[in-house]
Chains A and B, each alone.
Chain A
Amino acid sequence: MIRAARRTGLVFFPAFDWAISPSHPEREERLLYTQDQVLEEGLLDIDGIVEYRVRPATYEDLRRVHFCVPDEAAVTTESHLISAGGCLVAADAVLNGEVESAFALVRPPGHHSRRVVHGNRGFCNINNEAVMIEYIRGKYGIKKIAIVDTDCHHGDGTQDIYWHDPNTLFISIHQDGRTLYPGSGFPDEAGGPNAQGFTVNIPLPPQTGEQGFLHVMDELVMPLLGKFEPEIVINSAGQDNHFNDPITNMNFSARGYATLNALLKPDIAVLEGGYAVENALPYVNVGIIMAMAGMDTSNVKEPNYDRDYQQQPPEITRNIEQIVVQLRDLFLESGLKTVPYEEGRIVERSRDVFYDTDGIHERQHEKIRCCQQCAGALAIASTSNLGQHILAVQIPVEACTACRQVGLAWFEEGTRGAFSHVYLQDRVRGVYECT
């Protein structure tokens, strides 16, 4: 009997009865062919690969991360709760020591969901990884966590959620934002005042192939992880860098994904995007599961690989090498110019957020208290063209007394203001309030 070298948990939730709309890429059969391939390969019979049953996440789980406007019921469906819940099952399996690593093959995805949620952006409503991470922090007392987002699209939602958190290293490898949704994810986006250098964006040119991705892993991602020393590593395992993907321009492969995974050895991987449902996902997912289980993946490839896979052009290789040199300088050799913010200073920024799926325009004004002791009190005033005008206040995990007081004061003040709703997420007391 075939045995996995590493015990691996698999949470498979294809949601065969849910779609954004009938012809939307995020539709019922997205994981159908993946399931076919996984079953036909006999992966679930392998000793050491354990399949788990999903459970829905609760609103309480979401409230450790999100401010849902006006409330959770309005912006989520059962499918979002189950998808996030699948990640919690994966986390429990790993942190209880039942398996060494786990893969949550769930949909819908989540990495475009930000802290404030008015609706669906980039196929996402709820940030599955963030909901999982904050669950892990609450239940297992783990502090330092790294997220490596290998989806082809910049993980802007995850970046937003961890922008101010120095205990979370967020690394996103993606197709250059000048050529693809959501249009962000440049090296100068490196974290907020309290977490400078803890967000690392690695934009890669279209046509990046196996060689380029693996170069980035070896020269940049692995050293960054070595420097940060996270207690656990999460992989946002989008699969749309694939050469068969219909909505991106990259040139990655199933074998490449498997090798990347074997290098990264994430504790938990979570499926993100990837819409070549017939000719990429089945092979990529088989490759990732086998790699996580420590199995030989050299025979895993797409049936059209030999015919259609193209080597990375030399000019792209040179381009990637330059990007790597530049980013190594910034993030590994202290080249990043950090701004020394004075303790207690309030830094503000404003921005517009567009929800492409739901057509919502949001205007945000954000305040963060600069702090050396904690992630800082955070307040976001948000107005949407649906008529909402809300204030969301976060007191982060292990907040210092000063930040707690500032957060509570902002909330108090907000309740007397002209907002339609005022929210308080107090991670110190573990309460969530909404007026």
Chain B
Amino acid sequence: MILGLDVGGTQTDAVVIDKGQVVVATKTPTGEDLLTTLRMALENTLRDVETARLNRMAFSTTMATNAIVQDRLEDTGMIVSAGPGIDPEWFAVGPSYHVVEGCLDHQGFEAKSLNRAAVMDAAARIQEEKIKVIGVTGKFSVRNPSHELLIADWVGSSFSHVAMGHRVSGVLNFPRRIVTTYLNAALHGLHKEFLSALVHILNEKGLSAPRYLLKPDGGTINLDKSIDSPASIAQSGPAASVMGALALDGCEGTTLILDVGGTTTDMSVVLNGTPLLKPHGIRLGPFQTLIRSLMTHSLGIGGDSEVRMEERGGLRIGPVRRGRPMAMGGPAPTPTDAMITLDLLKTGNRDSAKAAMEDVGKPLGWDAATTAQRVLKHLAETIAESAKAFIYGINSQPVYTIHEVLEDQKIEPTSVLIIGGAAPQIGGYIGKAFGLPHRFPHHHGVANAVGAAVARVTSEITLQADTERGSVIIPEANVEDKINPSFDIEQAVALGRELLFQQAVRSGAEEKGLEISITEKQVFNMIRGYSRTGKNIRLKMGIAPGPIPEWKRSHYE
């Protein structure tokens, strides 16, 4: 039995899944305090559940996102080494940011050694400001972490926590590495506190099954391991929905997933069961990070958006949400009122809904039913238009090999899968606006909680081997080893597999049936003059997001 819980902006959804079936589904209003909300949602959900049978619990929370948005980050010092390039002062973040002398080139060779006095001075100044945590980031540290390690070694003992850039991701992007390191440091204390409070609640309720947190890439990580990278669990909400839709439907072909909510509509694409990932990292508030995320797009309109008639006679929906629909005593007409007017939704006061629609349609002489139909049609068309731009953006991403140009793989959705409470009401309109077959899964209203419940552990590594330099490095796994000149791609793949496997298991993955995919595999000759001096091998491997084996067994077999 699995518990899945997703904290949303207004509602917290939770499910209990037994033998592949959703046996309990609850909605609890999200309150001011996250832990209180979690406690209430757990109580609502587990009231009649034999909790001893739970063998997995997964949570998609808003802890990190809230801390960032509400500006509750802990004061964090940054020590950064860069060398030539864009002026590193432009990337200054946090209250105490210091650039120290030291430079590595793109191959990881040291061009200028680290200035120890400058590092010690930076640390002293950070301490003077009574700051307890620091982040350490070097340009090209994913090619050679030695400068970051040296800084941590020299000054680490003066601080309660040191976050290091090369551990964040193997991806090259110095400014994003600085920001992500900063967030990992600045969230460390808050995350630790949150974990211990959550564990306390769970223990109190006798819930001892393995615990996971959802990440924005649609994968999970076990609770304890998440302390290494607290920023990596931020903004997991959209991923919860995608993973839920994927789990409930299977998503064969090219599926456009729409999560039509109260204030927003989130969209994403799943290719034969595998969701698309963003090429760079996620954006958290003002921060562009290296945190891997699903490719999602959020449009600011939903069931509770305000509907009004423009002076020139055009309908306009959103992006403002004034409150609840008028049928529920709200202040402004909404698409939900349209659904109630058309008797698609049996809730609230239908007369208020009708009056709201009549009011909107009056300038054009439309009656309530006509207006309601036009509103839903317009809502669907606006979503379809935005989805078109989203897909166009995906298809315009650059490619770097002749092979890819010639193959010219373009994403073209073959169907639309709708989730969210209003999926059945809006489905027909959406299908028509897209000109595509549409469907909505059973439990479409709590798909997000299902997503959190059944998302497997994801993990990724970036391997770079340089036989000239005689080293192989996998920054995410904290591995840097010497290699022979004969080191080849087969050995690299084998090494990568082994380390990825270990890392995934440490993050809580089930060992059996772990599916590793290679997402990038390149070998270049390194040549001086006209002779080969070495090989440059680059690999990216990962465990793609998808449902856990237990769910797959009960659903697809």
**Chain A interface residues (CB < 8 Å from chain B):** 1-2, 11-18, 22-23, 27-29, 32-33, 35-37, 39-45, 51-56, 78-79, 82, 246, 278-279, 282-283, 286, 290, 295-296, 298-305
Residues of B within 8 A of A282 (CB): 106
- Against A, the Cβ 8 Å flags (1 = close, 0 = not) of B401-439 are 111011000000000000000000000000000000000
- Considering only CB atoms, which chain A residue lies closest to B525 in the complex? A22
Q: Is the CB of B90 within 8 A of A15?
A: no
Q: Is the CB of B400 within 8 A of A16?
A: yes
> B280 interface residue, CB < 8 Å from A?
yes
Q: Is the CB of B524 within 8 A of A28?
A: yes
Q: Identify A78's interface contact among B173, B397, B402, CB under 8 A.
A: B402
> B86 interface residue, CB < 8 Å from A?
yes
Distance between Cα atoms of A278 and B468 in the complex (Å)? 13
> B50 interface residue, CB < 8 Å from A?
no
A23-B531, A36-B106 known; A29+B405 contact, CB < 8 A: no
Q: Is the CB of A16 within 8 A of B83?
A: no
Q: Is the CB of A45 within 8 A of B405?
A: no
28 CB < 8 A contacts A-B: A1-B286, A11-B398, A22-B525, A23-B530, A28-B524, A28-B525, A29-B526, A32-B524, A32-B536, A33-B107, A37-B106, A41-B175, A44-B280, A45-B175, A45-B176, A45-B288, A52-B398, A54-B405, A55-B405, A56-B406, A78-B402, A82-B402, A283-B84, A290-B86, A299-B84, A300-B85, A300-B86, A303-B103
Residues of A within 8 A of B405 (CB): 13, 54-56, 78, 82
Distance between Cα atoms of A304 and B105 in the complex (Å)? 10
Give the shortest distance, in Å, between A431 (CB) and chain B (any CB): 28
Q: Which of B466-485 contact A (CB under 8 A)?
A: none
A51-B398, A53-B398, A78-B402 known; A23+B140 contact, CB < 8 A: no
Residues of B within 8 A of A300 (CB): 84-86
Q: Is the CB of B398 within 8 A of A54?
A: yes
A23-B530, A282-B106, A286-B85 known; A17+B172 contact, CB < 8 A: no
Q: Identify A29's interface contact among B103, B171, B398, B524, CB under 8 A.
A: B524
Residues of B within 8 A of A37 (CB): 85, 106
Residues of B within 8 A of A51 (CB): 398
> B529 interface residue, CB < 8 Å from A?
yes
Q: Identify B173's interface contact among A23, A42, A305, CB under 8 A.
A: A42
Residues of A within 8 A of B84 (CB): 283, 299-303, 305
Q: Identify A303's interface contact among B105, B399, B527, B531, CB under 8 A.
A: B105
- Against A, the Cβ 8 Å flags (1 = close, 0 = not) of B501-543 are 0000000000000000000001011110111100010000000
Q: Is the CB of B522 within 8 A of A16?
A: yes
Residues of B within 8 A of A13 (CB): 398, 400, 405
Known: A28-B524, A42-B91, A79-B402. 6 other contacts (CB 8 A): A16-B524, A27-B527, A29-B524, A33-B107, A40-B106, A299-B84
8 smallest CB-CB distances across A and B, nearest first, come from A303-B111, A42-B175, A29-B524, A39-B172, A40-B172, A36-B106, A17-B401, A53-B398
Of A79, A279, A290, A299, most buried by chain B (CB within 10 Å of CB) is: A299
Give the shortest distance, in Å, between B140 (CB) and chain A (any CB): 6
Distance between Cα atoms of A420 and B526 in the complex (Å)? 43
Q: Is the CB of A42 within 8 A of B174?
A: yes
Q: Is the CB of A78 within 8 A of B406?
A: yes
Q: Is the CB of A14 within 8 A of B400?
A: yes
Q: Is the CB of B402 within 8 A of A17?
A: yes
- Considering only CB atoms, which chain B residue lies closest to A247 in the complex? B529
Give the shortest distance, in Å, between B168 (CB) and chain A (any CB): 14
Residues of A within 8 A of B103 (CB): 303
Residues of B within 8 A of A22 (CB): 525
> B139 interface residue, CB < 8 Å from A?
yes
A27-B527, A29-B524, A42-B174 known; A296+B403 contact, CB < 8 A: no
Q: Is the CB of B173 within 8 A of A40?
A: yes
Residues of A within 8 A of B174 (CB): 40-42
Residues of A within 8 A of B522 (CB): 16
> B491 interface residue, CB < 8 Å from A?
no
Residues of A within 8 A of B176 (CB): 42, 45
Q: Is the CB of B87 within 8 A of A12?
A: no
